[in-house]
Amino acid sequence: MINAKLIYNTVLNDERVKAVAKTVLDAYPETITKFPCVVYLDASQSDKEFADNLPTVDSLGVEVHIFTKTVGNYKTTTEIGIVIANVMKENEFICTSNREVPDTEDNIKHRVMYFIRDVYAL
């Protein structure tokens, strides 16, 4: 098993992501106070291929949540999502889901993106 969180941390702390998101976190905070905010979660990790009864390829899945305000001069979830999708694609991740989700808070937009990638474990 590889350290998937380290991969996500490296990829999502890219300067381009930091240029559009005020905060990038690897877990949900109790309260989001700085917008736009990107939260990424290690959604899945599994062995995919084996050689000599040892895993050689890990399948990774990361869920990326984007929160932004609809009032004020904030980037939209779509604008931030495009930057994240480009950075993830450059790092060999495939986007399998990209959706806007309803949020109960006034003036907050929330987008969820899901990315997968296979990584050689050796």
The CATH number covering residue 31 comes to 3.30.70.1700
- The whole-angstrom separation of Cα 85 and Cα 78 is 10
Can you give the pTM of this predicted structure? 0.89
Which tens digits make up the pLDDT trace of 45-100? Answer: 777 656 666 666 788 999 999 999 988 899 999 999 999 999 999 999 999 999 99
Residue 44 has pLDDT above 90, yes or no: no
Which tens digits make up the pLDDT trace of 94-103? Answer: 999 999 987 7
Average pLDDT, the chain: 89
| E strand map for 70-107 | 94-101
The whole domain housing 62 covers: 4-120
> What letter does residue 92 receive in the DSSP assignment?
T
The domain tally of the chain equals 1
State both tokens at 87: 């950075």
Q: Give Rg (Cα) of the chain.
A: 15
